Structure 1
Amino acid sequence: MSYMSIDFSNMVEFDALAQSIVAKLGCELCLVSVVHGETLTSLGHSDPGTPSENRSMSVRDTICERTVRTGQPLRLPDVRVDPELRNISSVRAMEIGAYLGVPLKVDGEAAVGAICAVSTTARIWRDSELAYLQAVADLAESRIERHLLRFERKALSDALAENDAILNMLSNVKGRGMTVHNADGELVFVNAAMKNDLQLNDRDMLALPNIARRVQQLALPFNEAHVVRSTPTNTELSVQMTAADNGLVLAEWCRDLETSQR
């Protein structure tokens, strides 16, 4: 899952982190940013009044791109003397002199963003300042992971609720017998119409997984697998099987029309 799926529109805690760095290091600007595709978005900004539309830019136009790409801290006493960085648009726009950045990593993976401290004049960044920025980065990473976990829990809850709604709908469908099988043909769901409308008994129901397996073994294209099979009580059924997500198969059963007309 992409961490940019999370709504970071009101993450004042990241603004507070950026402000604390400015106060501690005595720099002019601090950003707590994440990369999504080709865009760098500042979750935290030392100027909390900065509107959301001014918090995103092309990652290629930032020094943080190097911090994220290398996954290593970057100390630059004067960006303006670096031939590769001095012409970057953000360097000119923000009047960047000195830059100090550390990568943000989530779940021990590759860097997903960076925290940077910026000074408008040249300066030598001390080891203690780098250590402080790294400590704040560790805190920011834990907070991003917390938001990710919260989002994943909500997504799982929504998915379960959706599945419950689907199963409830299938359970109450009348006149259409439906079952769901796993990749091995095992029965994982059966609706009430299988008994109420098709009038299958327990022995017939127990035979459905074997029938489903035999149908799947025919390797016919799903949506065209109309196959007549007999249950233990000689009830002949026609089944249409359709591949669903996660290896599941939806089977729709009905009495064989030719048999029912004899």
Structure 2
Amino acid sequence: MADFAFDFSHTDEFDKLARAIKTKLNCQTSMISVRQDDAILALGHSTKSTQLEDRLFAAQDTICTYTVKIRAPLRVVDVPSHSCWRHAPVTTTLNIGAYLGVPVRLNEGDPIGAVCVLSSAPRIWSDEELAYLETIADLIGSKIERLMLRYEQKALSDALAENDAILTTLAETSGKAITVHNDAGELVFANAALRADLELTYQELLTLPHVAQRLASDGARSGAVSVSAPGRPSQALHVQLYAPKEGLTLAEWSRSDASITFI
């Protein structure tokens, strides 16, 4: 599961959306959650406190984790009588009688979380209610992706303010497909050419820093690499690495017809 490069502490707009979902479907609770390591974070919650500790749940205890795992909508009519969930701590904590959840994806990639509604009593969820939640899940995925890109742009601006060498390198590579990542392989910046010229999905884009960092760890400054995303064939790319500042690496990407030497 990928880590997300934006500040999850600002949850107001997701809380408002969760409250709108609750009202629309006339349910007890609505949550918009994302997977964070071994936890589920309620990025949006219709009723919960704004305190972070009230929004974190152990991943193995939540039904949304299973929704993410199966990569498909999940309808549970009677949670307390369900063999898998009746003993789950969250069932008692949130007083869950019925559950309806839909995976949230970035650009049609792997699920990164779920949007769900909960009822305090058993309930048969209609096809119309499911269709509504699927539409909302697509909206949430797009919103998260935009926030991630906005955060990455700000992170690059901060880095540029600290080191003119990055600005010089970016100027020299103007018009080319560029990423900037840190030593942990986390994406700091990605320009529009990666999506427009190389036609990469967002899931593929997120793998680029990890691939480049592994290449740099081997002492190489360039090479042919392979990137892939679920449901798409692997793509051969060439990467050239620059290190304009300690702790940051700039990578220039292009299509490659060469044999793959590093995956």
The verdict on a shared fold, with TM-score over 0.5 as the criterion, is yes
Q: Distance in 2 between matches of 1:146 and 1:248?
A: 27
Q: Distance in 2 between matches of 1:68 and 1:160?
A: 37
The letter for the 2-side match of 1:45 is H
1:47-126 matched pairs, under 5 angstroms: 47=47, 49-126=49-126
1:198-241 Cα offsets, whole Å, 9 max, x none, are xxxxxxxxxxxxxxxxxxxxxxxx9xxxxxxxxxxxxxxxxxxx
Residue of structure 2 in register with 1:142 after alignment: 142
Matched, 1:246 2:241: yes
The letter for the 1-side match of 2:63 is I
Q: Percent of aligned pairs with the same residue? A: 45
Q: Distance in 2 between matches of 1:93 and 1:59?
A: 14
CA pair 17-163 structure 1, distance change in 2 beyond 3 A: same
1:82 CA drift (Å): 1.3
- Give ranges in structure 1 of 5+ residues lacking alignment: 169-221, 223-244, 251-262
TM-score (normalizing by structure 1): 0.61
8 A Cα contact 1:40 1:58, kept in partner: yes
1:17-36 matched pairs, under 5 angstroms: 17-36=17-36
8 A Cα contact 1:80 1:97, kept in partner: yes
Which has the higher relative contact order, 1 or 2, with Cα contacts under 8 A spaced 6 or more apart?
Answer: 2
The letter for the 2-side match of 1:17 is L
Residue of structure 1 in register with 2:131 after alignment: 131
1:95 CA drift (Å): 1.2
Q: Distance in 1 between matches of 2:16 and 2:60?
A: 26
The letter for the 1-side match of 2:12 is V
Asked which structure has the greater CA Rg, the reply is 1
TM-score (normalizing by structure 2): 0.61
- Give ranges in structure 2 of 5+ residues lacking alignment: 169-218, 220-239, 246-263
SS at match of 1:128: helix
8 A Cα contact 1:17 1:136, kept in partner: no
Q: Distance in 1 between matches of 2:35 and 2:167?
A: 39
1:151 CA drift (Å): 1.1
The letter for the 2-side match of 1:84 is C
1:15 CA drift (Å): 0.4
SS at match of 1:32: strand
| CA RMSD, 1 decimal | 2.6
